[in-house]
Structure 1
Amino acid sequence: MTPADMDQALELSPRAVRPSWRDRVLRGLIGALALAALIAMAVDVGVTPTALAAGSGKLATFLRAMIPPNAGGELVRIVRALGETFAMAFAGTVLAAVAALPLGVFGAKSVVPQPLLHFGFRRVLDMFRGVPALVWALIFVAAFGLGPFGGVLALAIADVPGLAKLYAEAIENCDEKPLEGLRSAGAAPPVVLRYGLLPQVAPLMASQTLFFLESNFRNAAVLGIVGAGGIGFELEERIRIFAFDEVAFIVLLYVVCVAVLDTISQRLRARLA
């Protein structure tokens, strides 16, 4: 739009281009209320200039203690903990995928076309999906003791609802023609699922599962801090004894591993797409 067009539009309908004084006052009030609410919430949770100033000195001390990063003679132990974290993420993802596959089939509208049953099933999945993996880890560590087993169960239980929902959506969006062809030929439902449905949705499901593996490798480190083993346990132990140079080494090594895993996963998912 040229300046001449703007001038003409302003002459024809001033309110369409320039808001009225009432609109400006209303917007100002909304902005002021939003700012006041933000300040009130910040003060309520302790985010104040005084608190920031008091903690900045300690933070600077911690950062200086991290330089240079040092393995502290525990490189083998740290690498083994990283491997344990990946194994925890991999096992949790595989268990979640195995459990989510039949749930995804059952939750797809094209497979189970009963609205009431479908609605109830989705709401149950949403309820379980609302519980984070950290809460499941606290429960399973308390039940089964310290170690990666509780972390594997926590990741699996936390991932099942999300994967089942994605699998169900993938099944609902698949092409129905191959399925109808198999049904018209008299194929049994398991045969229809095996040869008509899975070949269509398997690449997308594999891509979604790889994405969850990436996420679980990051989540597994957090679960280790609450006793689920792996690199998170090693990290928490060194923070507790103020070995911040070793903390920096672990964090840097972990970031490199996450970047490598993300790159590999992205390339695999690009090939599956």
Structure 2
Amino acid sequence: MSAAEPRFKAGEALACQGVGAAPSGGASAPSAGEAETNFFRRRSLSIVGVFLVFLAANAVAGGYVGFDFGAAVADIPAGIVWMAANFVPSAESFGKLGQILSSLASTVLVSIAASCVAAVFAFVFAVLGSRSVGIGGPVSIAVRAVASLFRNIPVVAWAFILLFSFKQSEFTGFFALFLTSFGYLTRCYLESIDEVSGGSVEALRATGASYFSIVAQAVVPMSITSVISWVLYMIETNIRDATLIGILTGTGIGFVFDLYYKSFRYDIAGLVIAMIVIAVIACEAISNYVRRQII
């Protein structure tokens, strides 16, 4: 055997050790299946931990306010039976259907008017406060501050505040819905305008277009779909809120419900609730249809 042959065999053995076997002192890398199993195990443990923290927080809060969760759950069947026995409309209650529909129509119209008027003002303020086409400086800060203030004050709080100035009237409910809608829509329009109009605005500015041309040719066409969608959503929300506002202001369908509820005419109050639910579902269906047509 030549001297080169042992050297060749020794090198082949070393090469086979390096390729086929891991060093005895090191740990082998986990396979893809093991890594995936570890990931799902960690995620499951995290979910369980969050759930336990949630239960503990609820237990502490319930103990602090004296809320008995077990007794509340036990009372649910009795509550359902009572509502089914008292709030089901009777044949006599349908005699008040004309009054209910008239008040409901008034509430729906006030909600639509408040949403649409607020949408116009909100869009103007959003354009002025936008980062892409706004005036900038203190105006942008002021617009965002006003929108946050109006949006974060609940509509019920606005109703209580306005009751001292405008008393119980349709205008009080309209104004409360308007202020809340204005703050909410201004915030939404600010985000929509900043997202969709950046490239178009820069292109028009490069051509020397005026400010109103930029708004008319870039901001409005690019954001009109989002604007309409938010208005429709606001109308749905205001119809629900207007019921509570009517209880406070003594107007609309809220007043009718409060009247019969306090008179222990639960069958008529149940009919009022049914009509409100039907109106909200109908408005939501119309809103979804319009959204599908414009998107």
Interval containing the TM-score (normalised by the shorter chain) = 0.7 to 0.9
Instruction: State the alpha-carbon separation in 2 of the partners of residues 15 and 149 from structure 1.
Output: 61
Q: Identify the residue that residue 35 of structure 1 maps to in structure 2.
A: 55
- Relative contact order, CA 8 A, sep 6+: which one is greater? 1
Give how far 1:192 is off: 2.3
Which of 187, 197, 201 aligns to 1:165? It is 187
Instruction: State the alpha-carbon separation in 2 of the partners of residues 189 and 245 from structure 1.
Output: 59
Give how far 1:218 is off: 1.1
Q: Identify the residue that residue 143 of structure 1 maps to in structure 2.
A: 165
Contact 1:93–1:216 (8 Å) recurs in 2 = yes
Contact 2:126–2:190 (8 Å) recurs in 1 = yes
Q: Identify the residue that residue 84 of structure 2 maps to in structure 1.
A: 63
Query: What does the per-residue CA deviation read over 1:105-139, in whole Å, with 9 as the maximum and x for residues that have no partner?
Result: 12210123747764554244223211011111122
Instruction: State the alpha-carbon separation in 2 of the partners of residues 191 and 30 from structure 1.
Output: 52
Tell me which structure has the larger Cα radius of gyration: 2
Q: Which amino acid aligns with 2:67?
A: V
Give how far 1:67 is off: 2.9
Q: Which amino acid aligns with 2:221?
A: P
Instruction: State the alpha-carbon separation in 2 of the partners of residues 116 and 67 from structure 1.
Output: 56
Query: What does the per-residue CA deviation read over 1:211-267, in whole Å, with 9 as the maximum and x for residues that have no partner?
Result: 111111111112112125111111111110111111111111211111111011111
* Identity score, percent: 25
| Residues paired across the two proteins, number | 263
TM value normalised by structure 2: 0.75
Unpaired segments of 5 or more residues in structure 1? none
Distance 1:249 1:177, change over 3 A: same
Contact 2:133–2:215 (8 Å) recurs in 1 = no
Instruction: State the alpha-carbon separation in 2 of the partners of residues 213 and 267 from structure 1.
Output: 14
Query: What does the per-residue CA deviation read over 1:82-106, in whole Å, with 9 as the maximum and x for residues that have no partner?
Result: 1011011011101211210111012
Instruction: State the alpha-carbon separation in 1 of the partners of residues 236 and 267 from structure 2.
Output: 27
Distance 1:240 1:17, change over 3 A: closer
Instruction: State the alpha-carbon separation in 1 of the partners of residues 130 and 58 from structure 2.
Output: 42
Instruction: State the alpha-carbon separation in 2 of the partners of residues 256 and 65 from structure 1.
Output: 20
Which of 6, 10, 34 aligns to 1:9? It is 34
Instruction: State the alpha-carbon separation in 1 of the partners of residues 269 and 291 from structure 2.
Output: 32
Contact 1:66–1:248 (8 Å) recurs in 2 = yes
Instruction: State the alpha-carbon separation in 2 of the partners of residues 195 and 28 from structure 1.
Output: 52
Contact 1:137–1:228 (8 Å) recurs in 2 = no
Instruction: State the alpha-carbon separation in 2 of the partners of residues 17 and 106 from structure 1.
Output: 48
Instruction: State the alpha-carbon separation in 2 of the partners of residues 108 and 9 from structure 1.
Output: 50
Contact 1:203–1:272 (8 Å) recurs in 2 = yes
Instruction: State the alpha-carbon separation in 1 of the partners of residues 32 and 207 from structure 2.
Output: 69
After superposing the two structures, state which structure 1 stretch, 170-179 or 243-252, moved more. 170-179
Instruction: State the alpha-carbon separation in 1 of the partners of residues 99 and 227 from structure 2.
Output: 35
Matches within 5 A, 1:94-243: 94-112=116-134, 114=136, 118-119=140-141, 121-243=143-265
Contact 2:129–2:136 (8 Å) recurs in 1 = no
Instruction: State the alpha-carbon separation in 2 of the partners of residues 47 and 65 from structure 1.
Output: 27
Unpaired segments of 5 or more residues in structure 2? 1-29
After superposing the two structures, state which structure 1 stretch, 61-70 or 92-101, moved more. 61-70
Q: Identify the residue that residue 12 of structure 2 maps to in structure 1.
A: none
Q: Identify the residue that residue 75 of structure 1 maps to in structure 2.
A: 97
Instruction: State the alpha-carbon separation in 1 of the partners of residues 276 and 144 from structure 2.
Output: 36
RMSD, aligned CA: 3.4
Instruction: State the alpha-carbon separation in 1 of the partners of residues 32 and 197 from structure 2.
Output: 53
Give how far 1:31 is off: 6.4
Instruction: State the alpha-carbon separation in 2 of the partners of residues 210 and 28 from structure 1.
Output: 39
Contact 1:141–1:151 (8 Å) recurs in 2 = no
Q: Which amino acid aligns with 1:219?
A: D
Distance 1:63 1:6, change over 3 A: farther
